[in-house]
């Protein structure tokens, strides 16, 4: 078996969910498990949080069906709503809460013949300009839904564009847009993503929507997950599968761009960009071997990468190599590659086996 595994710490996942709840006492929280629980495995994440989470949130009907196969009764929010008119019947059969983000979805809902009414979440475009009604259009939608047989609960939600930038004036502007609709009757309200859960208490409302924080990565460039009290959930670990000595002046890897400045010892490691490790990782990006950091040497290949272990004499064939996890924070790697932890986690491919532990 190829020596590569993504180890998922379910105890850390529970810790991070409970931390989200502690940030906003008395509020409920949807655990966002879209995109296969950010690459961690949605069935395992839902089973782990079953009975602890107040609800779950997903991006599509297919993801909702996967959650329902594990938890038949949890409150389950379809964040982008239904994409086709015939999906409303399926959403009702699954007992979903459903977002309504525009006129087309509203018209399709009101024309739908469904077995039972739905809990609806009207989405306000408060400044993100991605999905949602304008404030005036939302008021009209609210009026149209009053008394409709398709409606059980009627709720309000929106999404921040810059909550990960503390002090950004758009955050306050979006809150003002949201607050301007609070004269309307809603059963519940939801605004706070991970960044707002952690630092923007005015946005906590009735329901939180923690996503990336559940998986132990920080939504902020300037605040580490450790500083925020989050625990890493995934550790991506490979092994040294070959070691060779190269002389000064010899190159390593595709393009021959990395050239040894001294006689060097190079380890080949069983992970590459087809596994989800970023090809954009620059030479010098560190992995952890025997609890010590060692830098990449040359370009990341599809199935392998090379590491300079010259300064790590004890390193040997078969030694574990942490690409990210407890020793190498995923956010550190993401910043080195010009991306974010969200992308790295969701790009861990299916050929990487997930191994689940409880702390």
Neighbours of 313 (CB within 10 A): 8
Residue bearing tokens 């059969």:
93
Among 17, 21, 215, 254, the active-site one is 254
DSSP structure string for 113-165: --SS-EEEEEEE-SS--SS-B-HHHHHHHHHHHTT-TTEEEEEEEE--SSTTS
State both tokens at 319: 């030694």
Beta bridge partner(s), residue 349: none
Give Rg (Cα) of the chain: 23
Q: Which bin fits 324, alpha (ψ -120 to 50), beta or left (φ > 0)?
A: beta
Q: DSSP assignment, residue 30? A: E
State both tokens at 7: 């180890």
SS3 percent helix, strand, coil of the chain, rounded to 5, is 30, 25, 45
Give counts: helices (H), strands (E), the chain: 12, 18
Among 17, 21, 34, 88, the active-site one is 34
Q: Are strands 4-9 and 234-246 parallel, antiparallel or unpaired?
A: antiparallel
Q: How far apart are CA 216 and CA 228, in angstroms?
A: 9
254 labelled catalytic: yes
Contacts of residue 43, Cβ cutoff 8 Å, sequence gap at least 6: 66, 69, 70
State both tokens at 75: 């409150």
Annotated catalytic sites, by residue?
34, 254
């Amino acid at each position: 078996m190829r020596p590569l595994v993504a180890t998922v710490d379910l105890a850390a996942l529970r810790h991070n969910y409970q931390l989200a709840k502690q940030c906003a006492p008395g509020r409920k929280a949807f655990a966002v498990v879209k995109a296969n629980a950010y690459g961690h495995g949605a069935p395992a994440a839902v089973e782990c949080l079953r009975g602890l989470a107040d609800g779950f949130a997903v991006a599509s009907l297919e993801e909702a069906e996967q959650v329902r196969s594990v938890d038949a009764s949890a409150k389950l929010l379809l964040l982008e709503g239904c994409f086709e008119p015939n999906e409303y019947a399926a959403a009702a059969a699954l007992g979903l809460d459903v977002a309504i983000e525009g006129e087309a979805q509203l018209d399709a809902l009101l024309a739908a013949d469904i077995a039972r009414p739905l809990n609806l979440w009207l989405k306000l475009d408060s400044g993100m300009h991605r999905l949602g009604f304008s404030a005036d259009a939302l008021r009209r939608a609210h009026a149209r839904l009053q008394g409709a047989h398709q409606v059980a609960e009627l709720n309000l939600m929106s999404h921040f564009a810059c909550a990960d930038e503390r002090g950004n004036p758009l955050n306050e502007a979006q809150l003002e847009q949201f607050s301007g609709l609070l004269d309307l009757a809603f059963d519940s309200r939801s605004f706070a993503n991970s960044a707002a859960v952690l630092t923007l208490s005015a946005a906590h409302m009735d329901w939180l929507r923690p996503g990336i924080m559940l998986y132990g990565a920080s939504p902020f460039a300037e605040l580490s997950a450790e500083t925020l009290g989050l625990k890493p959930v995934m550790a991506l670990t490979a092994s040294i599968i070959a070691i060779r000595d190269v002389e000064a002046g010899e190159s390593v890897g595709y393009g021959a761009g990395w050239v040894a400045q001294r006689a060097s010892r190079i380890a080949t490691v069983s992970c590459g960009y087809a596994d989800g490790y970023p090809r954009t990782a620059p030479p010098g990006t560190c992995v952890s071997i025997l609890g010590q950091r060692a830098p990449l040497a040359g370009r990341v290949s599809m199935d392998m990468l090379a590491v300079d272990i010259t300064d790590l004499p004890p390193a040997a064939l078969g030694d574990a190599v942490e690409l990210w996890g407890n020793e190498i924070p995923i956010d550190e790697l993401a910043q080195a590659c010009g991306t974010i932890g969200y992308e790295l986690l969701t790009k861990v491919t299916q050929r990487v086996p997930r191994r689940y532990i409880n702390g």
